[in-house]
Amino acid sequence: MNKDYYKTLNINRNSSQDEIKKAFRTLSKQHHPDKGGDENVFKGLSEAYDTLSDENKRREYDVRGQNPFGGHQGGHNQRGPNMDDIFNQFFNNGSGRQQQQQRRQGRTLNIPLRVTLDEIFSSVVKKLKYNKNINCGVCKGAKGSTQRCPTCNGAGFVQVAMGNAFFRQIQKQQCTTCMGAGNLIVTPCNSCVGRGNEVVESTVDFKIPPDLMTGQLYTFKGLGDEIMGGISGDLTIEVVIERHKYFKVRDRDLVYEPYVPLLDMLLGGEIKVPYFNTELSAKIPELSKPTASFTLRGKGLKSKHSNGEGNLVINPIVMMPSMLDSQDRLNLEQMRQKDNFKIRK
């Protein structure tokens, strides 16, 4: 069954060469395998563009209703268009796929950090110590006297062709001879014994943000390991908040759950809250329900944004008496007989 190349590129049969190029540009960017597209779809786009972008091929295709170079003419050994060549010619002005060597980067280091709720509330600055690798001061990370790697010619990588005759993809792979270094050691450095680096103790000041939450990851660019001929790695700090003696954390709110006697809920009273370096108090209204909660607005965790402070939520745990003596029982029996303590219908 003949393929409709005009339908493949979603264009009309009288489309100009500019319209053909524009259609291929749009669709090939979307469907190229290197960009996550479908290989078969891109193959069809390349085949259609290879035919319709050439006036002679297009004229013969329009006459015959098929691709004159797709295997129906010229024998079984005739090769079809190379999709990568078409794509590179279209987008790279015929210079082939532009492959730029990515700069090597040193190892990223991680510091696990446990902080207290008090430290978050006060937004303290913690001075963190850690060890990192820096380039040797003598050989500057070269590990000694070197010579250029003959396999990759100093690039640190080699290009490998993947695929078949119709669809070919060029990939970069680390050179296995020099392991990506680009050179081979002839004589190891006496200072670092060929390691190329030395371990030093470093410090970083970490100001705890007021809106910090457990599991958050903070990255300091360029504070990780150094590497020769590349950029330094990063330093990441992964934070865990320790359990607090009094408060639970719910988003930006602090939750306090004190034990409160039953009679304080009936007669009214006051709850004292140990609030970091001070003390707060909350009133218990008379005849408060056992499920009642009380909120002190703006007394939760702070936020970087204005008007973003959380609240202090007090959820009392109503405490029943541990025992009743004869006088307690008599008083309660008298109270039970009153209409005010009976269920209202």
Name which of 17-26, 268-277, 278-287 the model is least confident about: 17-26
Query: What residue type is assigned to position 4 of the chain?
Result: D
Judge whether residue 315 has pLDDT over 80: yes
- Pairwise CA distance, residues 259 & 313, whole Å: 14
Name which of 50-59, 276-285, 301-310 the model is least confident about: 301-310
Contact 218, 239 (CB under 8 A): yes
Q: 248: exposed, middle or buried (C-beta count within 10 Å: 0-12, 13-18, 19+)? A: middle
Judge whether residue 164 has pLDDT over 80: no
pLDDT at 72: 41
pLDDT at 70: 47
Q: 209: exposed, middle or buried (C-beta count within 10 Å: 0-12, 13-18, 19+)? A: middle
- Pairwise CA distance, residues 276 & 279, whole Å: 7
Instruction: Tell me the pTM.
Output: 0.55
Q: What is the pLDDT of residues 209-259, one digit of tens each?
A: 888 877 788 899 999 999 888 899 999 998 999 999 999 998 889 999 999
Q: Which two tokens stand for residue 292?
A: 């009642």
- Pairwise CA distance, residues 182 & 139, whole Å: 16
Q: Which of 102, 103, 105, 104 is nearest to 234 (CA)?
A: 105
Q: What is the pLDDT of residues 15-39, one digit of tens each?
A: 888 888 888 888 877 877 666 677 7
Question: CB-based contacts of 222: which residues, under 8 Å, 6+ apart?
Answer: 231, 232, 233, 234
pLDDT at 278: 94
Q: Going from the N-terminus, what domains does the chain have, and what CATH number goes with each?
A: 5-91 (1.10.287.110), 101-141+197-243 (2.60.260.20), 144-188 (no CATH), 247-340 (2.60.260.20)
Judge whether residue 77 has pLDDT over 70: no
Give the residue-averaged pLDDT of 37-62.
Answer: 83
Judge whether residue 300 has pLDDT over 50: yes
- Pairwise CA distance, residues 111 & 127, whole Å: 12
> Residue 145 is inside which H or E element, if any?
strand 144-148
- Pairwise CA distance, residues 174 & 177, whole Å: 9
